[in-house]
Structure 1
């Protein structure tokens, strides 16, 4: 669920998340409450939508600016061209990299 939320930069409806995860809407609401209780920075509510604020469970990324650019370009290409698990994996990595901006 965290990965599904990371893929959205704006609030996403619970029904959209539930469908994408293959769970019932009621299950999604319960799981979101559980994640909030564990410290996830999820904002929103039923009927409005949900968004994950940055900073939750992110390991430090030790890449130069050029390395990040190369990763993002390659991942975008894979996410657009690959089907199934590989395309999803590329989108997941893009969400992780996008959620951890380099220090100023």
Structure 2
């Protein structure tokens, strides 16, 4: 759920990578539970546009598979970006287009 605490409408962005319930490296289909609409696919972030002042948006996120190939940088927050062997990815140089 996204809660707009402002007195005016606002765009609200949710960083999926900061949620302990969202798996890294995945994309998610987004459904608004109150308007019963599908709102596309979120990769790392989702923005709800024009949330009314003091309004709430209830979203259902469903796993929609792996992130698209070539999504760069490999992590939304480089300081949290680790390879499977525990090496920080920002220390290996990821600009070459190679798969991790």
TM-score range, shorter chain: under 0.3
Q: Which has the higher strand share?
A: 2
Q: Which has the higher helix share?
A: 1
TM-score by length of 2: 0.26
